[in-house]
Structure 1
Amino acid sequence: MEEKEKLRQEGLRLLKEMTETDKLYIEHRLAEHLFASSLWKDANSIGLTMALPHEWDTTKIIQQAWLEQKRICVPRTIANRAMQFYYIESYNQLSDGAFRIKEPIADRCEPASKDEIELLIVPGLVFDMSGYRIGYGGGYYDRYLSVFHNKTLSLAGRQQIKQSLPVDPLDLPVDHLLTDDGFLF
């Protein structure tokens, strides 16, 4: 098995085997650090993915953003493994999409251009100290990041961090990595 695939499986297993108590504690710490950061405070438009049950819950982030009157946009997968983000103002604007991930219903939402999104929260399973990540292997975010020029951030439990990861030419690092211990960079 290729090294990236081994790391992907390890990251997935780690998240799926985490106790509910540990998961909630880490999510609380991630949210606390995120909401106190200038990255969060300065962003009026935030892009993120609706999380699967084993991933860090993004609904708390969405609810906080709505409370602060920030705009939230979530991606919808489109042809050629690409994504289009759409602003949502209610969970009623979502339905089950690709890979069982909630996606915006395009005709109920306003599209968000990549230039409007001031902070993009990028998901992943394993991360390294340079901001590189291993996700599920579809390349959706790497394609999007190749044309996205605003701030990027990933959220991770400290156990998801490795010193370094194998990096392919098309892999792109995130600008900031936030763990339950705080910002690594």
Structure 2
Amino acid sequence: MPDRIEQAKRALRADLRERRQTISAHAREVAEAGVAEQLDALVARLGARSISCFLSTPTEPGTHAFVRAALDRGIRVLLPITREDGLLDWSVATADTEITEGLFGLPEPVGDVLGPIAVNDVDLLIIPAAAVDRQGMRLGWGRGYFDKTLGSMEKCPPVYAVIFDTELIDDVPRDVHDQPVTGVVTPTRTLPLAAHTS
């Protein structure tokens, strides 16, 4: 049974990855501006003063403009750093944070490293996803970092996944360790989902 779920996930990820490759540079710029606007409004609505946010890769909906704007407004932003053991360390973003290539070629901050539990203090988690379904189940990229993080948090704040509009789908293949999200942020809207009401 798990094999069938894993195969379905792999096939869906491959399709989504391919679709992301075809998005034009102009469409990406428009998407990054839209995501920044949606996330700004979400942070304001939740009154979040401390958040975590991933640094987007070139094919993901952009988060860099949002992170810069959040720092300008005095919001504390934790950026994830992947570890060999499958956990995430965190670093506090600054206006001049240097970005390097981490494990798996992902953009990650260079700076003082805080351990995995640092994220327990945030008011909002903003995480990547390949797709999310209407029940709030998230399909990640298969490495399990954010599922482990969410599953280990004692008191999890709202969790929003950033995706393109077409990546909110009816159903994602689901395994026992997969963690739901509170909602999604796309370039055009912010949508709380059924799994949570935050």
Whether TM exceeds 0.5 here: the answer is yes
The separation in 1 between residues aligned to 2:135 and 2:100, in whole angstroms, is 35
Partner residue in 2 for 1:166:
173
**64, 87, 92: which one aligns with 1:87:** 92
The separation in 2 between residues aligned to 1:163 and 1:56, in whole angstroms, is 20
Structure 1 unpaired stretches of 5+:
none
> Which stretch of structure 1 is more off in the superposition, 91-100 or 53-62?
91-100
How many residue pairs get aligned? The number is 183
Q: 1:39 to 1:12 in 2, by over 3 A?
A: farther
TM-score by length of 2: 0.84
The separation in 1 between residues aligned to 2:98 and 2:104, in whole angstroms, is 18
- How far residue 37 of structure 1 moved from its aligned partner, in angstroms, is 2.7
- What is the aligned-residue RMSD (CA, Å)? 1.9
Amino acid in the other structure paired with 1:150: P
Runs of 4+ in 1 over 3 A off after TM superposition: 38-41, 90-94
Partner residue in 1 for 2:132:
127
Partner residue in 1 for 2:49:
44
Structure 2 unpaired stretches of 5+:
1-5, 193-198
Partner residue in 1 for 2:62:
57
TM-score by length of 1: 0.89
- How far residue 102 of structure 1 moved from its aligned partner, in angstroms, is 2.3
> Which stretch of structure 1 is more off in the superposition, 138-147 or 38-47?
38-47
Aligned-residue identity in percent: 23
- How far residue 168 of structure 1 moved from its aligned partner, in angstroms, is 0.4
Kept in 2, the 8 Å contact 1:95–1:102? The answer is yes
> Which stretch of structure 1 is more off in the superposition, 108-117 or 165-174?
108-117
Kept in 1, the 8 Å contact 2:139–2:173? The answer is no
**6, 9, 19: which one aligns with 2:11:** 6
Q: Write out aligned runs for 1:89-168 (5 A).
A: 89-105=94-110, 108-109=111-112, 111=114, 113-148=118-153, 149-168=156-175
